[in-house]
Amino acid sequence: MAEEYKIQVKNITKQYELFKTQSEKLRSFFALNRKPIPHFWSLMGVSLTVKPGETLGLIGVNGSGKSTLSNIISGIIPPTTGTVDVKGDTSIIAIGAGLRGNLTGLENIRLKALMQGLTNQEIDNLMDDIVSFADIGDFLYQPVKSYSSGMKSRLGFSIAVHVNPDILIIDEALSVGDDTFYQKCLDKINEFKAEKKTIIFVSHSLKQIELMCDRVAWIHYGTLRQLGDTDEVVSEYRQFTKWFKGLSKKEKKQFQLKMKQDQKDFDIDAFQNELIEEKQKAEPNNPRVASEVKHQLYGSVISEKMSGGNVLLTWAVLLVGLFLAGVNVSGHSVSEVIQHPSSIVKPVKHLDLPGENK
């Protein structure tokens, strides 16, 4: 039987904490912040599926959550809630995504290809093709941090299309290349389409979207506003941008502030309750609705923060480590220090060294 979907995301949310300093971030990891950290929901419950062989476009205004969604699908960042089911290997092409700035272009090719599961022999066989497609000359031997965004895009694109992924995620990669490179990329994408590979294509260019996509998802300030045939969604989106452009400067600002405020105020518990109510209506005889919804939201998510238990464990390990280091420096034995704790601050005067005459 043919696969129903290649990618399925369900009730995906992504919360970012807006730290002011690095130390605030570190304290948060150890759950040591006293004051609550302001947060922002980049995605507020997005669900969609991508069919095998389909090219799905992602459109939406700046900051609407397109890259967050594509990064979650490609496994670069974890969601805060929800499930992501990807059947196959993904390769993401964003400007410089996954490229290490301190490594040269050549080193990056090897690293990314190894991460994609290729052997050194396979990489050697592909190297010439990758290098000639990227066409960045001697910059291949320079660290990627010295590249222009166009060069990063060329290298990233070339690696991604040559490692033969099942699913290709192209995030705004075509906007920075010159015309010749753009045409080469389009040809390559069309080859992928002809091979019935699944593609997610993120772009602000509605022309590119119309040219390439079978369906389009419009991401609007963290929500999925519309998902459907390309013509239909692009036409609605054009109407929205026309309406937005018609607003005065003040009205535009007010609209954006209101949308961003909604993203700050998003209540994950209320969202969970909505899902429970919906499911209860659909399955009135199922007594496990609440726990199933909770499991769907949190079951496959790895927390980015330490749990209370882990915080305690970390402190315990740290204290034991410090104690043993202290014992080592003092020159006493562990049992001596346990019997006479104050001896840890009184170092042994003379250490017997092997071979030393007594």
Ligand X SMILES: Nc1ncnc2c1ncn2[C@@H]1O[C@H](COP(=O)(O)OP(=O)(O)OP(=O)(O)O)[C@@H](O)[C@H]1O
Binding site for ligand X (CB under 6 A): 16, 40, 42, 60, 62-68
Q: Which of residues 224 and 337 has its CB atom nearest to ligand X in the complex?
A: 224
Rounded to 10°, the helix 179-194/149-162 angle is 20
Among residues 265, 275, 278, the alpha carbon closest in space to that of 298 is found at 275
Q: How far is the CB of 158 from ligand X (least distance, A)?
A: 22
Q: Which of residues 66 and 197 has its CB atom nearest to ligand X in the complex?
A: 66
Whole-angstrom Cα Rg for the chain: 27
Q: Which of residues 176 and 311 has its CB atom nearest to ligand X in the complex?
A: 176
Backbone angles phi, psi at 93, to 5 degrees: -120, 100
Q: How far is the CB of 343 from ligand X (least distance, A)?
A: 49
Q: How far is the CB of 351 from ligand X (least distance, A)?
A: 51
Element (H, E) at 105: helix 105-115
- Going across the sheet that includes 215-220, the strands are 90-94, 167-171, 198-202, 55-59, 215-220, 223-229
Q: Which of residues 54 and 171 has its CB atom nearest to ligand X in the complex?
A: 171
Q: How far is the CB of 68 from ligand X (least distance, A)?
A: 3
Q: Which of residues 11 and 64 has its CB atom nearest to ligand X in the complex?
A: 64
CA distance 350 to 331: 9
Q: How far is the CB of 222 from ligand X (least distance, A)?
A: 7
Q: Which of residues 16 and 240 has its CB atom nearest to ligand X in the complex?
A: 16
Among residues 267, 293, 291, the alpha carbon closest in space to that of 278 is found at 293
Task: Tell how strand 81-86 and strand 39-50 pair up.
Answer: unpaired
Q: How far is the CB of 172 from ligand X (least distance, A)?
A: 6
CB-side neighbour CA atoms (13 Å) of 261: 6
